[in-house]
Structures are given as structure tokens and as C-alpha cells.
Amino acid sequence: MVADPFSYQHSGRNLKTLCIVLGIWLILALAIIVVEAAPWLMGIIALCTLPALWDLFADPAAGLTFDDRSVQWFSGKRHASLLWSEVDHVRLDTRLDFSVRVTIMLKSGGKVRLPYEATPPHQTFESALRARGIRTERHHFSLVG
């Protein structure tokens, strides 16, 4: 039985990022107006939003697809693929910040870490892998890996 290909795409330009940046700017402006915070200090804090602003402007795409034969992923200008015949299992590590990082463990003993932005939501991804008979391992809150 051949299953349909799995596909996931993510765009850097999204409403969540825009709302967070605007929320931070609003809080900084209120700090300047209400509690008379130093504008130069609030400006330095506002600089921390520059990477998010770049994502909103540049709109980098990222994603992952796989079928019964191989897995392919891309993030910006980077892209790669592996045949399932090279893969031993897929490891999903939950970090202390609750993000899930995906590492493809190769039969040769090597590791290939997927870019975070190209990784699908972990429950959906793990279910799709298991439906194809690909072994997965879960590791929660590991400090190294």
C-alpha cells in the first residue's frame, strides 16, 4: 500500500510574528510614556525585534516533504534530501523551552539535524512517520543531544 506524500511548509511572514513585534513595541512605548523609561534603553530592547522584522520583510520559506522513498527539506536557500533506506530512525527531542528538535539518525551512525523552521508540528510529524513504518524515538527535556 502506497501512502500519500506528507508535506509541510512554513512562511516567515505570518500574523503571529507581526502581532508579537507590534505588542513589544507597544509595551516599550508605554514604558517610555507611563513610567518615563529611558528612550535609549527601550531602543536597545527594540533592536531585539530586528530578526523578526527581517522574517516579516524577507518572507523566507521552509518546509519538508516525504514519500515512501525519501525525505526532502528546505529552509531559505538550503535544501537536502535522504533516502529512507539510509535512515535508522528519527529522534524527536523536547527542549527545555518546549520546542521539539528533529534529528535523523542514519544507519551509518551519522546524524542529520533538520532546521527548526522546516520541522512540522511534532505530533503530526510523528504520526505521519509511524504511518509509514519509520521508527521514532522521543526524548524529553534533554540538555544535550
Pick the CATH number of 61-140 from 2.120.10.30, 3.40.50.300, 3.40.50.12160, 2.30.29.30: 2.30.29.30
Specify which residues 22 forms β-bridges with: none
For the chain, domain boundaries? 15-58, 61-140
Tens digit of pLDDT at every position of the chain (145 positions): 456 789 999 888 889 889 999 999 999 999 999 999 999 999 999 999 999 999 899 988 999 999 989 999 999 889 999 999 999 999 999 988 888 999 999 999 999 999 988 999 989 999 999 988 899 999 887 665 5
Q: What's the pTM value of the predicted model, to 2 decimals?
A: 0.75
Measured between alpha carbons, how far is 45 from 47 in angstroms, rounded to an integer? 5
Q: Which pLDDT does position 137 carry in this prediction? A: 93
